[in-house]
Amino acid sequence: MNIVFDHAIDVANEELGLAMTSLKAEVNYGDAYHSYGKLCRMLETGIAGVFGPSSRHTALHLMSICDAMDIPHIYSYMSENSEGFNLHPHPADLSKALYSLITAFEWSRFIFLYESAEYLSILNELNSLFGMNGPIVTVLRYDMQLNGNYKPVLRRVRKSKDNRIVVVGSTDTVPEFLNQAQQVGIINEDYSYIIGNLDFHSFDLEEYKYSEANITSFRMFSSEKMVVKELMEKMGYTSAQDDFRNGSCPITVEMALTYDAVQLFAETLKNLPFKPVSQNCSQRTESVRDDGSSFKNYMRTLRLKDRLLTGPIYFEGNVRKGYHLDVIELQPSGIVKVGTWSEERDFRPERLAATNSQFDNIDNSLANKTFIILLSVPNKPYASLVESYKQLEGNSQYEGYGVDLIMELADKLGFNFTFKNGGNDYGSYNKTSNESTGMLREIMHGHADLAVTDLTITSERQEAIEFSIAILFLKPQKAQPELFTFMDPFSEEVWWFLGLSFLGVSLSFFILGRLSPSEWDNPYPCIEEPEELENQFTIGNSIWFTTGALLQQGSEIGPKALSTRTVASFWWFFTLIVVSSYTANLAAFLTIEKPQSLINSVDDLADNKDGVVYGAKRTGSTRNFFLNSEDERYIKMNKFMTEHPEYLTETNQEGVDRVKVSTQYAFLMESTSIEYNTKRECNLKKIGDALDEKGYGIAMRKNWPHRDKLNNALLQLQEQGVLEKMKNKWWNEVGSGICATKEEAPEATALAMDNLEGVFFVLLVGSCCALLYGAVSWVLFIVKKARHFKVPFKEAFLEEFRFLIDFNNYVRVLKSSDSIYSRSRQSSMSVGSIGQ
Give burial (CB, 10 Å; 0-12/13-18/19+) of 197: buried
**Distance separating alpha carbons of residues 492 and 498, to the nearest angstrom:** 10
Which residues lie closer than 8 Å to 809 by C-beta, 6 or more apart? Answer: 803
Q: What's the number of domains the chain is made of?
A: 6
Q: Determine the distance from the C-alpha atom of residue 199 to the mean position of all C-alpha atoms in its chain, rounded to a whole number.
A: 18
Position 825 in a domain: no
Contact of 678 with 685, CB cutoff 8 Å: yes
Q: Specify whether 222 is located in the same domain as 340.
A: yes
What b-and-e string marks burial along 664-703, b requiring 16 or more CB atoms within 10 Å of the CB?
A: ebbbbbbbbbbbbbbbbbeebbbbeebbbebbbbbbbeee
The predicted pLDDT at position 692 comes to 56
User: How much is the average pLDDT of 806-818?
Assistant: 61
**Distance separating alpha carbons of residues 827 and 378, to the nearest angstrom:** 108
For the question of whether the overall pTM of this predicted structure is more than 0.75, the answer is no
Residues belonging to the binding site for L-glutamate are: 456, 461, 621-622, 670
Report the CATH number that the domain containing residue 457 is assigned in CATH. 3.40.190.10
Type and span of the H or E element at 754: helix 753-789
The predicted pLDDT at position 353 comes to 43
Q: Specify whether 137 is located in the same domain as 265.
A: no
Pairing, β 416-421 against β 520-521: unpaired
Q: Specify whether 414 is located in the same domain as 466.
A: yes
Position 670 in a domain: yes
**C-alpha distances out from residue 293 to 56, 60, 265, 276, 792, Å:** 24, 19, 14, 14, 88
The predicted pLDDT at position 233 comes to 84
Q: Specify whether 208 is located in the same domain as 308.
A: no
User: How much is the average pLDDT of 217-244?
Assistant: 76
Q: Specify whether 110 is located in the same domain as 211.
A: yes
Q: Determine the distance from the C-alpha atom of residue 34 to the mean position of all C-alpha atoms in its chain, rounded to a whole number.
A: 32
Which residues lie closer than 8 Å to 88 by C-beta, 6 or more apart? Answer: 76, 77, 78, 79, 253, 257, 320
- Would you say residue 793 has pLDDT above 70? yes
Contact of 73 with 50, CB cutoff 8 Å: yes
Residues belonging to the binding site are: 456, 461, 621-622, 670
Q: Specify whether 127 is located in the same domain as 222.
A: yes
Containing structural domain, residue 446: 370-473+697-733
SS (H, E, C) 160-185: CCCCEEEEECCCCCHHHHHHHHHHHC
User: How much is the average pLDDT of 316-343?
Assistant: 87
Contact of 75 with 105, CB cutoff 8 Å: no
Which has the closest alpha carbon to 328: 209, 228, 412, 233? 209
User: How much is the average pLDDT of 324-333?
Assistant: 87
**Predicted confidence (pLDDT) per residue in 300-320, tens digit:** 888 888 888 898 998 888 888
- pLDDT band of residue 533 (cuts 50, 70, 90) is confident
Report the CATH number that the domain containing residue 71 is assigned in CATH. 3.40.50.2300
- Would you say residue 173 has pLDDT above 60? yes
**Distance separating alpha carbons of residues 117 and 595, to the nearest angstrom:** 54
- Would you say residue 136 has pLDDT above 90? yes
Position 822 in a domain: no
Q: Specify whether 331 is located in the same domain as 467.
A: no
Bridge partner residues of 136 (DSSP)? 109
The predicted pLDDT at position 825 comes to 42
**Predicted confidence (pLDDT) per residue in 191-204, tens digit:** 999 999 999 999 98
Q: What are the phi and psi torsion angles at 420 (to 5°)? A: -145, 135
Type and span of the H or E element at 802: helix 793-804
Contact of 515 with 774, CB cutoff 8 Å: yes
- Would you say residue 771 has pLDDT above 60? yes
Q: Specify whether 172 is located in the same domain as 191.
A: yes
User: How much is the average pLDDT of 238-247?
Assistant: 52
Report percent pLDDT > 90 for the chain.
Answer: 14
Position 270 in a domain: yes
Task: Please say which residue of 680, 713, 747 terminates a domain.
Answer: 680
Position 817 in a domain: no
Q: Specify whether 334 is located in the same domain as 238.
A: yes
The predicted pLDDT at position 681 comes to 75
Q: Specify whether 492 is located in the same domain as 561.
A: yes
Handedness of CA 786, 790, 793, 794 (dihedral sign): negative
Q: What are the phi and psi torsion angles at 284 (to 5°)? A: -65, -40
Contact of 324 with 342, CB cutoff 8 Å: yes
**Distance separating alpha carbons of residues 494 and 574, to the nearest angstrom:** 13
Q: Specify whether 453 is located in the same domain as 399.
A: yes
Give burial (CB, 10 Å; 0-12/13-18/19+) of 389: exposed
- Would you say residue 829 has pLDDT above 70? no
User: How much is the average pLDDT of 396-404?
Assistant: 83
**Distance separating alpha carbons of residues 674 and 616, to the nearest angstrom:** 13
User: How much is the average pLDDT of 663-681?
Assistant: 76
DSSP state of 148: S
Which has the closest alpha carbon to 254: 197, 307, 305? 197
- Would you say residue 22 has pLDDT above 70? yes
Q: 291: helix, coil or strand?
A: coil
Q: 766: helix, coil or strand?
A: helix
**Predicted confidence (pLDDT) per residue in 708-743, tens digit:** 788 888 878 877 777 778 777 777 777 666 565 544
Q: Determine the distance from the C-alpha atom of residue 425 to the mean position of all C-alpha atoms in its chain, rounded to a whole number.
A: 43
Q: How many CB atoms lie within 10 A of CB 297?
A: 11
Position 704 in a domain: yes
- Would you say residue 295 has pLDDT above 70? yes
Task: Name the average pLDDT for the chain.
Answer: 78
Q: Determine the distance from the C-alpha atom of residue 107 to the mean position of all C-alpha atoms in its chain, rounded to a whole number.
A: 38
Contact of 574 with 501, CB cutoff 8 Å: yes
**Distance separating alpha carbons of residues 175 and 153, to the nearest angstrom:** 16
Cα dihedral angle (33, 38, 39, 41), rounded to 10 degrees? 130
- pLDDT band of residue 159 (cuts 50, 70, 90) is very high
Contact of 515 with 770, CB cutoff 8 Å: no
**Distance separating alpha carbons of residues 302 and 268, to the nearest angstrom:** 8
What does R_g of the chain's alpha carbons equal in angstroms? Answer: 40
Bridge partner residues of 167 (DSSP)? 113, 195
Position 83 in a domain: yes
299: Cα within 13 Å, side-chain hemisphere: 30
Position 466 in a domain: yes
Answer with the residue of higher pLDDT: 171 or 287: 171
Answer with the residue of higher pLDDT: 758 or 368: 758
Q: 38: helix, coil or strand?
A: helix
Type and span of the H or E element at 34: helix 32-45
Handedness of CA 729, 731, 733, 734 (dihedral sign): positive
User: How much is the average pLDDT of 505-517?
Assistant: 79
**Distance separating alpha carbons of residues 559 and 222, to the nearest angstrom:** 74
The predicted pLDDT at position 358 comes to 37
504: Cα within 13 Å, side-chain hemisphere: 18
Which has the closest alpha carbon to 45: 75, 25, 16? 25
- pLDDT band of residue 363 (cuts 50, 70, 90) is very low
User: How much is the average pLDDT of 542-559?
Assistant: 79
**Predicted confidence (pLDDT) per residue in 431-466, tens digit:** 666 676 777 777 777 778 888 876 655 433 333 333
Q: What are the phi and psi torsion angles at 712 (to 5°)? A: -65, -40
- pLDDT band of residue 164 (cuts 50, 70, 90) is very high
**Predicted confidence (pLDDT) per residue in 62-114, tens digit:** 888 888 888 888 888 888 877 788 889 999 999 999 999 999 999 999 999 99
Handedness of CA 745, 747, 749, 755 (dihedral sign): negative
Q: Specify whether 129 is located in the same domain as 236.
A: yes
Query: How many residues are present in the chain?
Result: 836
For the chain, how long is the longest CA-to-CA vector?
A: 134
First to last CA, the chain: 68
- Would you say residue 773 has pLDDT above 90? no
